[in-house]
Amino acid sequence: MIRRKKKPASRIERAGEWLYKAHTARKRFAPLPQDLAPRDLAEAYAIQGEFVGMRAHDLGRVAGYKIALTTPAMRKMMGMGDSIAGDMLERSILRSPARVQADDYVHLLVEFEIAFQLAEDLPAIGAPYTRESIAKAVGAAMPSLELADDRDADYSKLHDYPLMLIADNAWNEGAVLGEPVRDWRGIDLGELRGVAKINDKRVGEGYGRDVMGNPLEALAWVANNLAARGLGLWRSDVVITGSLVTTKYPEPGDALRFEAGALGAVELHVD
């Protein structure tokens, strides 16, 4: 019997494995070794795909997406010319009210966002998508809290390796979703006011227009970003569209609440 030699792992596969092992070992966020580092956007997203694929064994299939760096200030800080996308895995998407353990993260951070759930498929062949065309595919809107882990990153150095944030799946660790609102079309999402609270104390507020002018613009951006990579959004997928409020870093014992006007509220307790 002739045994075939196992094909050596590619550089992209090895980079994804390096990231997976770094997360598993709870190591501080750091750039990939030079021989594995992404050289362009395509490689960064390819590494992200390998890393997410390894996490999927524990956390389930890709069931949603996020957008990060939605403001010029954030993109400048990261040395990026555009926003970036990340995947969300099925078992990391929670329903409000939710509880998480702070010890499950190296350094938990939370953002306050509007989420959409799709009622129709948005394949790559249908791109480019616009705010108007994307709205027709939305089945529900809801408030959400993004769960992320910066693994104690040194923010002053992120500008030196901007593609690393893409490869590391934009730090996403899931989301907490509020009750879906299916008759959302009567709500002016641009004027929608969001209020963030921690332990009943207001810690920030913002408007839907603070995210690319309207959360639907962010949704269209995600659909077009995926389409450019030959991917699509599918019915039941959830997309969180960027924070209306500055990032917060909760401590054990904190209760977080995001009130999003006519869309209701979403709650999280950190143990």
List the beta bridge partners of residue 154.
Answer: none
CB 88 within 8 A of CB 116: no
Calculate the CA 236 to chain-centre distance: 16
* Distant-in-sequence, close-in-space partners of 28: CB < 8 Å, separation ≥ 6: 106, 151, 152, 153
Q: What is the pLDDT of residue 73?
A: 74
Going from the first residue of the chain to its last (271 residues), give the mean pLDDT of each consecutive group of 10, the final group possibly shorter: 64 97 97 96 97 96 95 79 95 98 97 97 96 97 98 92 95 98 96 97 96 96 97 97 95 98 98 97
List the beta bridge partners of residue 100.
Answer: 270
Residue 199, both tokens = 């332990």
Q: What is the pLDDT of residue 5?
A: 57
Indicate the Cα dihedral angle 251, 266, 87, 171, nearest 10°.
Answer: -20
CB 196 within 8 A of CB 258: yes
Q: What is the pLDDT of residue 72?
A: 80
CA–CA separation, 194 and 187 (whole Å): 13
Amino acid identity for residue 12 in this structure: I
CA–CA separation, 35 and 39 (whole Å): 10
Q: Beta-carbon neighbour count of residue 128 at 10 Å?
A: 10
Q: What is the pLDDT of residue 4?
A: 58
Residue 163, both tokens = 């593609």
What's domain 63-270's architecture? Alpha-Beta Complex (3.90)
Q: Could you tell me the CA-to-CA distances from 163 to 46, 169, 191, 270 in Å, in that order?
A: 11, 10, 33, 30
Query: How much is the pTM?
Result: 0.94
Q: What is the pLDDT of residue 80?
A: 82
3-state secondary structure of 225: helix
CA–CA separation, 117 and 121 (whole Å): 11
- Which uninterrupted H or E stretch holds 84? strand 84-89
